[in-house]
Structure 1
Amino acid sequence: MEPEPLTFFTPDGDRVTWEVEADPAHDPFERRLTLVVQGTKIVQRRVPRAEGRDRDHLYELLENEARMGARLLTRLRRAYPVELPRLMGYSLDEEEPFVLLSDHRGEPVSRFAGALLIAEQRALQASLFRAVRILSACDIVHRRIDPGTVRWDGTAVQLTDLSHATLAGSRRLRLGEAPYAAPEQRAGTGRACTADDLWSAGMVIYRTVTGRDVADRPDLTAAPALQPIHDVFSGQPPSALEVLDRLREPDPMRSIPADQDLRLEEGRLAFDRAHEAKRETEAEQPAPVTRIEQAPREQPRKWWSRWLPLAVLVCLFLVVWMVIR
Structure 2
Amino acid sequence: MGMEPEPLSFNTPEGDPVTWEVEAEPWHDPFERRLTLVVQGTRLVQRRVPRAEGRDREYLYDLLENEARMGARLLTRLRGDYPPELPRLLGYSLDAEEPFVLLSDRRGEPVTRYYGALLIAEQRGLQVSLFRAVRILSACGIVHRRIDPSTVRWDGTTVQLTDLSHATLAGARRLRLGEAPYASPAQREGVGVASTSDDLWSAGMVLYRTITGRDVADRPDLAATPALQAIHDVFSAAPPTASEVLARLRAPDPMQSIPVERDLALEEGRVAFDRAREARRDPADATAAPATPAFDDRTRVQPAPAGEEPRRTWLTRWLPLDVLLVLLLVLWLVNR
Asked if TM exceeds 0.5, the reply is yes
- Indicate the residue corresponding to 1:70 in structure 2: 72
Query: Could you say if the C-alpha distance between residues 277 and 189 of structure 1 is closer, same or farther in structure 2, counting changes exceeding 3 Å?
Result: farther
- Indicate the residue corresponding to 1:312 in structure 2: none
Deviation at 1:77, TM superposition (A): 2.5
- Indicate the residue corresponding to 1:79 in structure 2: 81
The one of 19, 22, 32 equivalent to 1:20 is 22
Structure 1 counterpart of 2:103, one-letter code: L
The one of 164, 181, 196 equivalent to 1:194 is 196
Give per-residue Cα distances to partners, 1:60-98, cap 9 Å, x unaligned: 000000000000000112210000000000000011000
CA distance in 2, matches of 1:138, 1:58: 24
The one of 265, 268, 278 equivalent to 1:266 is 268
- Indicate the residue corresponding to 2:54 in structure 1: 52
Structure 1 counterpart of 2:17, one-letter code: R
- Indicate the residue corresponding to 1:110 in structure 2: 112
Give the share of equivalent positions with the same residue, in percent.
79
TM-score by length of 1: 0.86
Query: Could you say if the C-alpha distance between residues 105 and 118 of structure 1 is closer, same or farther in structure 2, counting changes exceeding 3 Å?
Result: same
Structure 1 counterpart of 2:107, one-letter code: R
CA distance in 1, matches of 2:93, 2:271: 15
CA distance in 1, matches of 2:272, 2:26: 34
The equivalences for 1:280-295 within 5 A come to 281-283=283-285
How many aligned residue pairs are there? 286
**Could you tell me whether the CA contact under 8 Å between 2:93 and 2:276 is conserved in 1?**
no
Give per-residue Cα distances to partners, 1:31-71, cap 9 Å, x unaligned: 00001111110000000111111100000000000000000
Query: Could you say if the C-alpha distance between residues 282 and 101 of structure 1 is closer, same or farther in structure 2, counting changes exceeding 3 Å?
Result: farther
- Indicate the residue corresponding to 2:12 in structure 1: 10
Counterpart secondary structure, 1:94:
coil
**Could you tell me whether the CA contact under 8 Å between 2:34 and 2:43 is conserved in 1?**
yes
CA distance in 2, matches of 1:284, 1:159: 34
* Unpaired segments ≥5 residues, structure 2: 289-336
Query: Could you say if the C-alpha distance between residues 58 and 166 of structure 1 is closer, same or farther in structure 2, counting changes exceeding 3 Å?
Result: same
**Could you tell me whether the CA contact under 8 Å between 1:79 and 1:257 is conserved in 2?**
no
Residue 207 (1) aligns with residue 212 (2): no
Deviation at 1:282, TM superposition (A): 4.2
CA distance in 1, matches of 2:124, 2:239: 19
Give per-residue Cα distances to partners, 1:209-247, cap 9 Å, x unaligned: 000000000000110000000000001100001000100
Query: Could you say if the C-alpha distance between residues 52 and 277 of structure 1 is closer, same or farther in structure 2, counting changes exceeding 3 Å?
Result: closer
The one of 155, 177, 180 equivalent to 2:179 is 177
**Could you tell me whether the CA contact under 8 Å between 2:94 and 2:276 is conserved in 1?**
no
RMSD after superposition: 1.4
**Could you tell me whether the CA contact under 8 Å between 1:139 and 1:167 is conserved in 2?**
yes
Give per-residue Cα distances to partners, 1:175-207, cap 9 Å, x unaligned: 001100000000011000000000000000000
Structure 1 counterpart of 2:70, one-letter code: M
TM-score by length of 2: 0.83
